[in-house]
Amino acid sequence: MADLPIAAIVRIAKKSGAERVGHDAATVLLEKTEAYIAQLTREANKLAMHAGRKTLKEEDVELAAMSA
């Protein structure tokens, strides 16, 4: 079961130019989005741990996103 609401994914897709979003497409977008967030968090966490912190900071996420 997904953690993000599918309606939020559909809204983002529509704001990004999609006129209509099929349920199958929304489901795949949701899966890919959650996978991206998980990967980004893992990389940001590595950076925070390297800096001796347990708390993720904006800079960790930004650096992780640049290397993704």
pLDDT of 10 reads 97
Interior angle at CA 56, CA 43 and CA 30, nearest 5: 60
Distance CA(53)–CA(58), nearest Å, equals: 13
52 torsion bin: left (phi>0), alpha (psi -120 to 50), beta (else): left
What's the pTM value of the predicted model, to 2 decimals? 0.89
pLDDT of 28 reads 98
pLDDT of 68 reads 74
Domains in the chain, ordered, with CATH?
6-67 (1.10.20.10)
Q: What is the pLDDT of residues 7-55, one digit of tens each?
A: 999 999 999 999 999 999 999 999 999 999 999 999 999 999 999 999 9
